[in-house]
Amino acid sequence: MAVYTEVSDDELRDFIGEYDIGEVVSIKGIAEGVENSNYLLQTVSDPDAPPQNYILTLYEKRVRPEELPYFLGLMDHLANGGFSCPTPIHGRDGAALRELSGRPAAIVSFLSGMWPRKVTPQHCAELGASMARLHLAGADFRGHRDNNMSVSGWEELVSATQERADEVVPGLSDTIVNELEHIRLSWPSNLPQGVIHADLFPDNVFFLGSRLSGLIDFYFACNDALAYDIAICINAWCFESDASLNITKARALLRSYASVRNLSRDEYDALPRLARGAALRFLLTRLYDWLNHDEAAFVRPKDPRQFLDRLRFHQQVNGPGAYGISFDDLNG
């Protein structure tokens, strides 16, 4: 679940009074997401019209307040460019970010759609095209945020988890240290850069029927190698529960991406290294949460071992062809 902060009647009324969105007629905490408190908010401006839906987010301690203007500015930029994502609602004073119940808070538009509980190759194809459009739409965004979940961030997480990693899987500490060493030496540094989502797991991608309706949750977005976003999606969308790669899904993802944004030879060749890095990144954060989760937060930590399996897969591939498509077929 994800409602950490309770909002009182008076605080909510004062907060909503800063916006031109009418009167609140319903507010319900949403039991999804693990980082922030999210509420479904319904308001009525015209008593004869049906309620309008919004999402009210209170940013909890994992989000750094000084980074919120980047995230909200990015959503504004993308939505203004016609990309389907939550749009920050601005108050009468022009601000999208204010305070509620002692937390930074914002209201964004409600996005219809459901995230796929069971991923199909068609979902992966839709995802690939949408991610490529995101990368193109982000090109002229003027904000900048370093990816704090890249190599230097992993080094910190390795230090923080090394001592107890073997409690989860015997030998895990050595595996991680060796992998980090390998990545340090081989991490690609000259790939095309831009705005990436950096957390495009299925629960952040909405569909209406078989068509993608929009992306949500931009609170890990940052500037990094665009192809690293693809590598995250290969990890997040293309593996089956038995830890095998579904090549049909990976091929659909890559081909569809390349049909919207051309993938360079360097980007294609870097995929196995990027995929190892992405697997290590989620292995480390899940491991950290597993070892340090707060019982009082009532969040069930996700099993880190899934990403150990994915890491092992990427360690063993011969080259990017393992993801189901050759470079010539990709751009052909």
**CA 107 remoteness from chain centre:** 19
Pair of tokens at residue 53:
């839906």
- 303 binds its own copies, rule: CB under 8 A: no
Tell the residue number behind the tokens 């009525």, with chain if given: 44
- Name residues contacting its own copies, limited to 22-61 (CB under 8 A): 23-32, 40, 42, 50-51, 53
- Name residues contacting its own copies, limited to 172-211 (CB under 8 A): 208-209
Q: Which is nearer to its own copies, 28 or 265 (CB)?
A: 28
Strand order of the β-sheet with 52-58 is 37-44, 52-58, 103-109, 98-100
How many binding residues for its own copies (CB under 8 A)? 37
Options 64, 184, 265, 300; binder of its own copies; rule CB under 8 A: 300
Contact window for its own copies (CB under 8 A) among 72-80, 142-150, 158-166, 298-306: 298-306
What is the chain's length? 332
Listed in sequence order, the residues at least 6 apart from 272 whose beta carbon sits closer than 8 Å to its beta carbon are 314, 317, 319, 320, 322
Site string for its own copies, 228-267 (x = CB under 8 A): ----------------------------------------
Q: Which is nearer to its own copies, 115 or 327 (CB)?
A: 115
Of 121, 156, 159, 175, nearest to 314 by C-alpha is: 175
Least CB distance to its own copies at residue 4 (A): 10
* Phi and psi angles of residue 224, each rounded to the nearest 5 degrees, phi first: -165, -175
Q: Which is nearer to its own copies, 113 or 153 (CB)?
A: 113
The residue type of 15 is F
Site string for its own copies, 110-139 (x = CB under 8 A): x-xxx-xxx---------------------
What is the rounded CA–CA span in Å between residue 90 and residue 20?
Answer: 9
Q: Which is nearer to its own copies, 59 or 228 (CB)?
A: 59
Least CB distance to its own copies at residue 118 (A): 5
Q: Which is nearer to its own copies, 7 or 212 (CB)?
A: 7
Least CB distance to its own copies at residue 112 (A): 4
Q: Which is nearer to its own copies, 34 or 322 (CB)?
A: 34
Over the Cα atoms of the chain, what is R_g? 20
Kindly state the DSSP code that residue 215 receives in the 8-state scheme: E
Q: How far is CA 33 from CA 11, 57, 108, 109, 279, in A?
A: 23, 11, 15, 17, 20
Contact window for its own copies (CB under 8 A) among 19-27, 158-166, 267-275, 276-284: 19-27
Q: How far is CA 212 from CA 81, 129, 228, in A?
A: 17, 10, 21
CB 39 within 8 A of CB 56: yes
Q: Which is nearer to its own copies, 291 or 317 (CB)?
A: 291
As a whole number of Å, the end-to-end CA separation of the chain is 44
Report the interface residues with its own copies, using CB under 8 A.
1-3, 6-10, 23-32, 40, 42, 50-51, 53, 110, 112-114, 116-118, 208-209, 295-296, 298-300
